[in-house]
Amino acid sequence: MIKKLLSTPGIRIGIALAFGCGTAFAQQAPTALREFNANNTSATSAVNGSSQSAADTRFGSVSKVSIHTLLGSKSSTHIYAHLMPWFGTKGHIDVGYDSADRNQVKRQIDDMVSRGIDGVIVYWTGASKTGNAAHATDVAMKVRKEAEQHSGFQFAIQEDKQALKECAKERCDVTATLIGDLQYAAKNFFGSRAYMSMNGRPLLFFFGLEEYKNSIDWNVVRAAVPGNPLFVFRNSVGFDYPQSDGAFAWNVIDKADPNDVGLGYLDHFYKVAAQHVGAVSLGSAYPGFDDQLAAWFRHRLINRNCGDTWLKTLDEAKRHVDAFMGLQLVTWNDYEEGSHIEPGIDNCVSVQASVSTDTLQWTITGSEATIHHFAVWVSTDKINYREVQELPASNRGIALSGLGLDAGQYYFVVQAIGQPSMLNHISAPVSAKLPSPSS
């Protein structure tokens, strides 16, 4: 198996935090009200509200509940984000950062780790030293360096068909070009302690190279690439390609029905994967798809449905979790095709709080299924808040007398913590005057 990476962080649910005489309350570090909706991701504000930003993109505080929680407590599946390295280059939209900026790479991997993601698979267009390909290689090298700073975090590269496009167009030797790319990868990536491997063999992913199936001699490629790497291809047919060591799922868009989120495609992939015992197999999960901002726009759409697509594809993975050894999130930051999770997934939830006698209660709009839990926060000045309790998503109220607060005037907000990588939402403050216990 792919070596184990990060453990799933625990989530504290339904544990009251008592503040006898206000001592613990005073010791807690406060959170300013304005910070509740502040960006806590590696995305930038340029992806919010701009005419150049992707559809269905909002900006705010994202749930850092581990994505592993949606695969079940018994799952040891490794989760990888698919990273697009092309922003900051010609022909791509402005999302507010250059993918090759060292600090941005650090922020992205820190963000991935904070969400329970175990590694990253980097889109790569070969070893060319010019143009966008050189930029992508620069990103991959910086990902290598940063991944090595996080114990257990891994990375791998995925060679895209674009790496061979010019060669095929000019009728050059596509096999030789591919070999040159993979020899470069072996020299510059395989030796990293963070490079993804299985039984000591590095993994190489290929996207779309079936387009050149009549031009590539995979037996020659296999013999020429050092390190005895595992070759992993896209879709269930990838298990049967020459020299294949496995396959990974992606997504399939039904242009006739944007609400067909591809569960049939995923179900078929997992059933085929289960038949290939011992092969490398990676499932997939995604929040949606919309290529309206891409230069290659083809009117393809999978609706996000306020986070329901994300949950359904993850639930499909959970149902078949024994059929594969890894899960790829498609994608971390493909804003041009609307499959990004970097800035969070909007679950379209809002929270309304009120106080009645001794009870803080709340209602929501939107789907409860997209909420992981609620957090209740309290303030004495309506500016700085401290958390006093976390409650399951099914709860809609709490007795104020049970919070252990001293008598006095307080302000409360209720925060809906989203399911993994979904946006968090918070109510407006409501006030309550708590009497002394003897009154």
287-309 average pLDDT score: 90
Asked if pLDDT for residue 286 goes beyond 80, the answer is yes
Asked if pLDDT for residue 49 goes beyond 80, the answer is no
What is the predicted pLDDT for the residue at 25?
53
* CB-side neighbour CA atoms (13 Å) of 31: 18
What is the per-residue pLDDT across 83-109, written as a single tens digit (0 to 9) for each? 999 999 998 999 999 999 999 999 999
Asked if pLDDT for residue 373 goes beyond 70, the answer is yes
Asked if pLDDT for residue 247 goes beyond 80, the answer is yes
What is the predicted pLDDT for the residue at 151?
96
Would you say 112 and 68 are in contact if contact means Cβ atoms under 8 Å apart?
A: no
How far is residue 106 from each of residues 149, 180, 325, 333, measured CA to CA in Å?
10, 29, 26, 15
Token couple for 403 = 């919070």
- Looking at every residue in the chain, the average pLDDT score rounds to 90
Asked if pLDDT for residue 15 goes beyond 50, the answer is no
Report whether the peptide linkage leading into residue 137 is cis, meaning its omega lies within 30 degrees of zero: no
Q: Quick one: 17 exposed, middle or buried, by C-beta within 10 A (0-12, 13-18, 19+)?
A: middle
Q: pTM score, two decimals?
A: 0.92
pLDDT band at 27 (very low <50, low <70, confident <90, very high): low
417-428 average pLDDT score: 97
What is the per-residue pLDDT across 262-280, written as a single tens digit (0 to 9) for each? 999 999 999 999 999 999 9
What is the predicted pLDDT for the residue at 256?
83
Q: Quick one: 435 exposed, middle or buried, by C-beta within 10 A (0-12, 13-18, 19+)?
A: exposed
pLDDT band at 23 (very low <50, low <70, confident <90, very high): very low
pLDDT band at 16 (very low <50, low <70, confident <90, very high): very low
308-332 average pLDDT score: 96
Would you say 310 and 284 are in contact if contact means Cβ atoms under 8 Å apart?
A: no
What is the per-residue pLDDT across 129-173, written as a single tens digit (0 to 9) for each? 888 999 999 999 999 999 999 999 999 999 999 999 999 988 899
pLDDT band at 10 (very low <50, low <70, confident <90, very high): very low
Q: Which domains does the chain have, with CATH numbers?
A: 20-37+346-434 (2.60.40.10), 77-337 (3.20.20.80)
377-396 average pLDDT score: 97
How far is residue 217 from each of residues 109, 170, 174, 202, 432, measured CA to CA in Å?
36, 18, 9, 20, 74
Contacts of 80 (CB under 8 A, 6+ apart): 117, 118, 119, 120, 121, 154, 156, 196, 282, 326, 327, 328, 329
Would you say 203 and 280 are in contact if contact means Cβ atoms under 8 Å apart?
A: yes
